Structure 1
Amino acid sequence: MGSQITVLGAGSWGSTLANVLFENGHEVLIWTRDEKQKEEINTDHTNERYLPHFKFPTELRATTDLEKAVATADLLVFVIPTKGMRELAKRVNSLLNREVTVVHASKGLEENTYKRISTLLSEEISSEYLKGLVTLSGPSHAEEVIAKDLTTITAASSDKKAAELVQSVFINDYFRVYTNTDIIGVEIGAALKNIIALGAGVIAGLGYGDNAKAGLVTRGLAEISRLGVKLGADPLTFMGLSGVGDLIVTCTSPHSRNWRAGYQIGQGKDVSSVINGMGMVVEGVSTTKAAYELAQTYGIEMPITEAIYQVVYNKADVKHVILNLMQREGKAE
């Protein structure tokens, strides 16, 4: 018999993970704030805004009642934008009365505090209720997972048994899950790759080709590694799925909302109008600010991150910023 699992968040990724879990034989409930979305999932078995043309199994249900969503779950899977994570965790904690394993599948750093998501979850969910804390991350577009394209991903936790539990509930013949004990590196890689994806979109929007993209992704990985190691990550983690793997998928595909946002900016569109017109949160925008300020604090050289920061927050001219990157003083790799 499968586990009782609640997925908190009914966007494209939350809905997709709920479907994976349901197909794996678990009892799954999706929680959403949106009454209309709940009715659509329960009545039409669709989520057209996020997963057009896909039909969910009729037995997969949604609710807007958070108390009901939390009541009997063995696992709670948080899949909402980072900016709402702390508030939801506080609400969940007030409803818990027993131990649960907490998983999050979001990618970002908290605004202002710049804390990793697992850190803020551990701050808001009482240790007496927290059986295990795991992040699920890696190169994965919801649009492809829902179509059962082959996907590999990482379940990371400082608690190996918790990571193995999450691995066991998610893994199947098209969704392969590896474990990793370096939760710092996995979360930093997941968050910071969105900055580089913005940059990759900008490069494409400006009309540059594969040479420029390869250079950006490679030097972007170097930046992510430098900051990640400073924050306590294992440098080898960035050579894995949540490092170079996530960079490849996010920086090369129009499925990525960060890439799409960067592409429009590269074409000369106003940054604010691009972000407001996406219809979904572009995590790379707030993460750019977090990474830029962390780099300033720790004295870490992150020229690509700084360039994206200047474009997004100071409205710097995109072409001028790219030219400045290329005209930096020559140095050893």
Structure 2
Amino acid sequence: MLSFEIIFCVQGAETVRELLDVAKQTIPSTHWHTTPVVLKATAGLRLLPEQKAQALLLEVQELFEDSPFLVPDDCVSIMNGTYEGILAWITINFLTGHLYGASENTVGILDLGGASTQITFLPQAERTLDAAPKDYISSFEMFNSFYKLYTHSYLGFGLKVARLAVLGALDAKDVDNRRFTSSCLPQSLKAEWKFGGINYKFGGMKEIPSGFQSCYTEIMKVIQKKLDQQDEIKRRTFYAFSYYYDRAVDAGIIDVEKGGIIRVKDFEMKAIEVCENFSKATKGSPFLCMDLTYITALLKEGFGFHDNTELQLTKKVNNIETSWALGAAFHLIQSLRSTARIVKQI
């Protein structure tokens, strides 16, 4: 099975065409007709106007139907955030060997994308299930086991959309003629950044000194009281990936190949270092101070983690990517087998 994560871009469908060519080179032609192809779009498309998103998905659907691969029903769709969190949780717990053991040994996941952020874990405390918003609890069956997860995706709280929110550019008009500023950026900075097909001019604030405290204050306006907090997470083990991992690598907190275990306050300490000394610490990225400060605030003020809470940052487990794609593969295989059993019975 092939599972593609797609973030909107002008050549999105062309990218899928290239991936199909790779699949043809990798999979023996005798197996093409039994190999399902599936595209699950994530937050990048959820943020797009529906007409644009559907136009891209339709183009991908046509590519699949013209390919020699098996095209299941609903093979091209936009995943909701809850589903994405569940699939990522399945992936990491399968790869770490926790999916078949005692439920209290499962690990939680934190995923920070460009447009959204997800948190998912299997509650052990009944009070967590009682206190959580009803739509934050999702039940599902996998490998003949039943799970009731706490999971939620916060659309608009991904790293790149958060940058726009901090800059005040998220819903701004007349973007072409404005320069957006923040104390999270070097005072002398004047730069441009393209995101979602729009070119944003941005830079530092002359009237407010750049630095961690002023940056943290700005970011708190974006996330304060916007996320649900559950006490149980402070006592659980969490794996964090995507931009948690990437920015930790950029800041020199973890090794790019090995990852590592860090504390929440390690993000804060590095954010302070970067924000107070832009010239030596940004490594070519003017957003590093803002990003590290946002991650710190998201973990502490958003989700409610302690300073000493340990997070396992990893990109791969047993040389397999820690993303939702493997969980999606398991779910698809289970669905296809269920369908096959029903057809056989008929």
Could you tell me the TM-score, scaled by structure 2's length?
A: 0.29
Q: Higher strand fraction: Structure 1 or Structure 2?
A: 2
* Bigger RCO of structures 1 and 2 (CA < 8 A, at least 6 apart): 2
Please tell me whether Structure 1 or Structure 2 has the larger radius of gyration of its CA atoms.
2
